[in-house]
Amino acid sequence: MAHGKKVMGKVLSAQNADLSKKLKSAYHQFITGLKSNLLDCGRTPKSVKPNCHIMISIAISSSGDTVPDHVDSQIKKSVLDALSRVHLSNSQALQKIAVRKY
């Protein structure tokens, strides 16, 4: 019976590793989309001053340590204004987005 537990433990460990890999990949895609949405939607508010930041804060419901529980992303309004005036490329603006994970 002990041999069966070892085999089952290895199977579960492999399944957990596979799930962890999928979660990390999905999380990376989520952050990429979040940044893109921040660039698109962040230009909408006109009353925000150039020296202020636009921020999106998201709580993530997860089990385990694979992805963070909370993510904040922010960008200065002046960067979004420069993007709108074509003084910055989309990729340059994406690099200026700060992402804080905790």
- Tokens 């922010």 belong to 74
Judge residue 21's burial from the number of C-beta atoms within 10 Å of its C-beta, 0-12 exposed, 13-18 middle, 19 or more buried: exposed
pLDDT tens, 29-47?
Answer: 999 999 999 999 998 888 9
Q: Which amino acid is at 93?
A: A
> Which tokens hold the place of 11?
């199977």
Tokens of 3: 């041999």
Model pTM score: 0.79
For 61, the 3-state DSSP assignment is coil
Among 84, 102, 80, smallest CA distance to 93 is for 80
pLDDT in tens, 58-101: 998 866 778 899 999 999 999 999 999 999 999 999 999 999 99
Task: Tell me how far apart the alpha carbons of residues 22 and 56 are, in angstroms, rounded to a whole number.
Answer: 24
